[in-house]
Amino acid sequence: MDWTTNVAVHESVAPEATRKRFITALKNREVDPTLLYSGLRQTSRWIALHHSVSPAKVDPDCVAIYDRAFEQVARSSAANVLHVIGLGCGDGSKDTNCLQLIREASKTTIYTPCDISLEMVLTAHARATSALRGLQSNPVLCELSTCSTMPAILKTFDPAGTDRLLLFLGTIHNYDPGKILKSLLHILRSQDRILISANLAPSATYEKSVSTILSQYDNAPTRSWLMGALSELGLDEKNGRLVFETNRTANYPDLTTIEANFIFSGSKTIEVFSEGIVFGAGEKLKVFTSTRFTVPSLRGILAAAKLEIESEWIARSEEEAVFLCRRK
């Protein structure tokens, strides 16, 4: 069947804004995250990787904590209409599970998938609307941390008397948590709730667990995904090698961040948007980061961001947790 959909495109992902982000990131020796998720090939690589290694996909206990969180939200919402907003929606699989459980609680749902990748928001939109007949879905393409008009965008989709549930699932560990939560607080109204989930490491065995987790990143699907992004910059194995390592987290010295860095074997000029950025032999280009929180550290980060935890669900492995929060 033929189908069409309208996608709201924020200026944060307009060509000029994207060009500036790409160049600024490269000058800072980093890859802009847009390259990791945009385009059909990168989207396909990420989805394949996510479904093969994510605890939320392969660990039944992690799957269960999401379902319990979604069920509680569905039961406890006072409104008959619930607007679910997927911030960093990815392929929309978690969002769709949430929407289905809300509908099973005899409530009407509206869905707004938001991501930096057009392919991701369309994948999430198609997944959700295929699973839930008649679902109103309003995809938004934006760079979440700089989309200052998101409250106004969301307001245009809300019928009167609608509750909102924001989903920020499996994404916080790729950001500076304090900065991204400040952006989310701008979106979150006093009556709204937000579900935040994160990849964790157990407190009691933190250093050992992070070392084990680091080895899990060094695999063929992850390398294919990251090298796919680097190929958009004209880089391949002849120009250097991809190395996975751990470093202390900026602003959070008790936490460790897993990094994937491309180390140049020789001098290389990356040409992007008619501008050349020179890298020397031995220099690092940061491709990907993932901070490993603990349950206590994430509780503290949420409290510092003026978010009150209403409920929490923690996997037995302590490698995944979901927090239901409101503004303080």
Per-residue pLDDT tens digits for 65-122 = 999 999 999 999 888 899 999 999 999 999 999 999 999 999 999 999 999 999 999 9
CA angle 296, 300, 306 (to 5 degrees): 150
For residues 164 and 193, give the distance between their C-alpha atoms in angstroms, rounded to a whole number. Answer: 7
| Cross-strand bridge partners of residue 280 | none
pLDDT of 59 > 70? The answer is: yes
For residues 15 and 304, give the distance between their C-alpha atoms in angstroms, rounded to a whole number. Answer: 35
For residues 194 and 174, give the distance between their C-alpha atoms in angstroms, rounded to a whole number. Answer: 18
Task: Dig out the tokens for 93 from the structure.
Answer: 């699989």
Q: Return the amino acid letter for 167.
A: L
Average pLDDT value over all residues in the chain: 93
Per DSSP, the three-state class of 268 is: strand
> Do 322 and 69 touch, CB atoms closer than 8 A?
yes
For residues 12 and 244, give the distance between their C-alpha atoms in angstroms, rounded to a whole number. Answer: 30
For residues 208 and 229, give the distance between their C-alpha atoms in angstroms, rounded to a whole number. Answer: 30
The tokens 């964790």 sit on which residue? 200
Instruction: pLDDT band for 61, please (50, 70, 90 cuts).
Output: confident
> Do 143 and 26 touch, CB atoms closer than 8 A?
no
pLDDT of 57 > 70? The answer is: no
pLDDT of 298 > 90? The answer is: yes
Instruction: pLDDT band for 273, please (50, 70, 90 cuts).
Output: confident
- State the DSSP code for 248: E
For residues 227 and 181, give the distance between their C-alpha atoms in angstroms, rounded to a whole number. Answer: 29
Burial of 19 per CB tally in 10 Å (0-12, 13-18, 19+): middle
What average pLDDT does the segment 294-317 reach?
Answer: 96
For residues 206 and 64, give the distance between their C-alpha atoms in angstroms, rounded to a whole number. Answer: 23
pLDDT of 48 > 70? The answer is: yes
| Cross-strand bridge partners of residue 279 | 268
Higher pLDDT, 287 or 160: 287
> What is the rounded (10 degree) CA torsion for 250, 251, 255, 261?
-10
Neighbours of 21 (CB within 10 A): 19
| Enclosing H/E stretch for 49 | helix 40-53
The tokens 């929180």 sit on which residue? 293
pLDDT in tens, 220-262: 899 999 999 999 999 999 999 999 999 999 999 999 999 999 9
Closest CA to 118 of 153, 143, 136: 143
